[in-house]
Amino acid sequence: MIVTRRHLMATAAAAVALPAVRARAASPTIKFGVLTDLSGPYKDIGGPLASDCARLAVADFGAAAKGMTVEVIQADHQNKPDVGAGIARQWFDRDGVDVILDVPNSGVSLAIAGVAKEKNKVFLPSNPATSDLTGKDCNANTIHWAYDTWMLAHSTGGATVKSGGDSWFFITADYAFGHALQRDTTQFINAAGGKVVGSVAYPFPGTNDFSSFLLQAQASGAKVVGFCNAGADTVNSIKQAAEFGLTQTRAGLLVFIADVHGMGLQVAQNLVISSTFYWDLNDRARAFSERLWARAPNVRAGMGHAGDYSAALHYMKVAAEMGVAQAKADGAATVARMKAMPTDDDCFGKGMIREDGRKLHPCYLFRVKTPAESKKPWDYYTLLATTPADEAFRPMKDGGCPLVKS
Amino acid sequence: MVMIFGKPLILLYGQLTLGLINGAFYALLSLGLAVIFGLLNVVNFAHGALFMLGAFVTWGLLTYLGIGYWPSLVLAPLVIGVLGAVMQRTLIRRLAGLDPLYGLLLTFGCALVIEGLMRNQFGSSGVPYAIPEALSGAVNLGFMVLPRYRAWVVIAAAVMCLAVWLVIERTRLGALLRAATENAPLVQAFGVNVPRMVTLTYAAGAALAAFGGVLAAPMNSVNPNMGTNLIIVVFAVVVIGGMGSILGSIITGFGLGIIEGLTKVYYPEGSATVIFVVMVIVLLLRPAGLFGKAA
């Protein structure tokens, strides 16, 4: 290589610039990393809207006015635990990320919980479903925000039996998530005095046609057909249930507002679902939704998105109180402070965070409106029942979280 | 009640009917693949993506232009056929004469790009498409409730399969196609424009996939991944029937639909696997497929 004067000057300039870059990285900027599915099946329950929610939280908190600099970045975990964990390491080690948000996909989230603990950073997932995050896999750096499998099974299973749906037939995706959901729901159905008359486990992934299983559900005589699946499978099975004229109550165990939007009300009408957030639930939720609409028009946030907003906001409140530098230095200490401070935001109202890392708020049972009942765009849900925050989630003693001292 | 292997006969009737409907789908899609492979020697992995585009075009015609289901049955295959022709002219043609593996990789790449773009544009949860008014509702056949739309699907697919088979086996155009498959230079020497014929064949294959997409739109979730799941099964159908065999694809499609339907009653967990078990057995006993000619 020939060293020219230009090379020398460039090198000298870089050498001068380098310390400046380092100095800026060390200054107390809070950095949120939204690690989500940007290209796959969960893009609509997390995806770009998750980052919008985090940015909205930054704006609503008024970080700039308080003299705090906050940055939000995002990446695609491609639903692969190794990819997700790799990005998390890079973010924590090299890019100065303090908090990871969102993370749809339970497998990826369990991998990242381990990385966050190892690096002593903060992990606030709102979009994985597995209740293991606050059970056997809980740790001092993680708070599970919006919903979990136990809560969904408890609300949909228990409340439906109380309203008369006491015999069930399950259509279940044949993998860990589907079976866990069916097992938990069965428990609540039995506890409420109902019974399960049959079930069918279909191959996952790769099933497009549910007609055969729907026919078996129809023939079973059960009053309720429960769908223990998610995403496109849920849309397909419920769409085909409408086609076959299933007259039974249909209960979706994990249905997001994006799924309902994808099915259309003609198909989804009268479906019973559980959610911890609905954009049109009350004045505060509506106010939040209008502010979000200005940033991301034509979509409405699901419960995972609401969780991203709520989690980012609560973290900033705690960081402002304890000092940004301290919050950045010790993830576990920050999470402990977050647990000590009650939560309050437009999405979930007043709530709290339990010792095992479970964020507590009420859970709602909804019925999807008929096309005639729906008066405006995204006007989809009617409230059937509310489970208060202290009953909505699994009791701490049943979770087996090692953090909880008995 | 009459029972067969512990299941009521009446339930089996219903499952057989459903199997036949799924079989119609498999037949329709594998037919397009067989036509393309037979003439171009291209293993068209973009077939699932074209199927998905067919469904999305149907949705787009209704949403943006107010054009309903029935015109879409013709328009969507036309649009996708033109897209297919462009793909063949600009991309696939460059690989003529190379090992079929290159064509497989190219079309697979195309499928990934198309699906990625659609996911970026329309998200992953899909878009709604309702069953046309005239075909909504269901008829009670005594042993099962058959939605009118499904009955229409099985008829439309069967008629389309029959029409394609007739064109290829019984018309002069079909004879030329088959001749070009055997010996393209000779057919060209007789004054037939073989390159154009190849383009049109790919376009026709793409249009068949899109036709399947239109039929699927009211029954399945219209989302960017809808072709991916189906295409693997359809490839198995083509392999079992014999690569490039038109009649083989049709008969195997219907047959496997029925086998799959019965598996869903007796052992539902295995219903996605049974087709591949059949494929293994067929490949062991008849490596060229049930209706294929040994090379």
Q: Domains along chain A?
A: 27-147+281-361 (3.40.50.2300), 164-275+364-392 (3.40.50.2300)
Query: Tell me, what CATH number does B81's domain have?
Result: 1.10.3470
Lowest mean pLDDT among A8-12, A227-231, B113-117, B228-232: A8-12
Q: Inter-chain contact B18–A208, Cβ cutoff 8 Å?
A: no
Strands (E), A184-311: 195-202, 224-228, 249-252, 272-275
Residue A406 binned pLDDT confidence (cut-offs 50, 70, 90):
low
Q: Supply the pLDDT for residue A25.
A: 42
B137 touches chain A (CB under 8 A): yes
- Name which of B199, B222, B258, B180 is nearest B63 in CA terms: B222
Average pLDDT of the residues of chain A? 90
Percent of chain B with pLDDT over 90: 43
Q: Supply the pLDDT for residue A23.
A: 41
Q: Supply the pLDDT for residue B153.
A: 92
Residue A218 binned pLDDT confidence (cut-offs 50, 70, 90):
confident
A384 touches chain B (CB under 8 A): no
In the stretch 265-324 of chain A, residues with CB closer than 8 A to chain B read 266-267
Q: Does the structure show a pLDDT above 80 at B8? A: no
Chain B residues in contact with A43 by the CB 8 A cut-off are 119, 123-124
- CB-nearest to A244 from B127, B145, B221 is B145
Q: Supply the pLDDT for residue B9.
A: 72
Residues B171-196 have a mean pLDDT of 87
Residues B258-269 have a mean pLDDT of 88
In a domain, B165, yes or no: yes
Q: Does the structure show a pLDDT above 80 at A369? A: yes
Q: Supply the pLDDT for residue A154.
A: 93
Q: CB-hemisphere CA count at 13 Å for A159?
A: 26
Q: Supply the pLDDT for residue B50.
A: 96
Q: Supply the pLDDT for residue A286.
A: 96
pLDDT in tens, B264-275: 888 888 888 899
A91 or A79: whose pLDDT is higher? Answer: A91
Q: Does the structure show a pLDDT above 70 at A11? A: no
Percent of chain B with pLDDT over 70: 97
Q: Supply the pLDDT for residue B67.
A: 93
Q: Does the structure show a pLDDT above 80 at A6? A: no
How many domains does the structure of chain B reveal? 1
What is the DSSP code (8-state) at residue A279? Answer: T
* Separation in Å, CA of A335 to nearest CA in chain B: 33
Average pLDDT of the residues of chain B? 88
Lowest mean pLDDT among A217-231, B9-23, B101-115, B215-229: B9-23
pLDDT in tens, B135-154: 888 888 877 778 899 899 99
Q: Supply the pLDDT for residue A144.
A: 97
Question: CB under 8 Å, gap of 24 or more: what pairs does A55-63 form?
Answer: A55/A295, A56/A288, A56/A291, A56/A292, A56/A295, A56/A309, A57/A308, A57/A309, A57/A310, A57/A312, A57/A313, A57/A316, A58/A32, A58/A312, A58/A316, A60/A291, A60/A313, A61/A313, A61/A316, A61/A317, A63/A30, A63/A316
Q: Does the structure show a pLDDT above 60 at A2? A: no
In a domain, B249, yes or no: yes
User: Cβ contacts of residue A35 below 8 Å, gap of 6+?
Assistant: A74, A75, A77, A84, A87, A88, A91, A100, A101, A102, A103, A108, A112
Residue A8 binned pLDDT confidence (cut-offs 50, 70, 90):
low
pLDDT in tens, A58-90: 999 999 898 899 999 999 998 889 999 999 999
Q: Does the structure show a pLDDT above 60 at B121? A: yes
In a domain, B293, yes or no: no
Name the residue range of residue B238's domain: 3-124+131-285
Contact between residue B46 and residue B110 where contact means Cβ atoms under 8 Å apart: yes
Contact between residue A204 and residue B133 where contact means Cβ atoms under 8 Å apart: no
CA-nearest residue to A203 within chain B is B269
Q: Supply the pLDDT for residue B141.
A: 80
In a domain, B218, yes or no: yes
Contact between residue A150 and residue A393 where contact means Cβ atoms under 8 Å apart: yes
A371 touches chain B (CB under 8 A): no
Q: Supply the pLDDT for residue A24.
A: 43
Percent of chain A with pLDDT over 90: 70
Residues A298-303 have a mean pLDDT of 93
Residues A340-365 have a mean pLDDT of 96
* Separation in Å, CA of B32 to nearest CA in chain A: 20
Question: How many residues are there in chain B?
Answer: 295
* Separation in Å, CA of A172 to nearest CA in chain B: 10
Q: Does the structure show a pLDDT above 80 at A255? A: yes
Q: Does the structure show a pLDDT above 90 at A306? A: yes
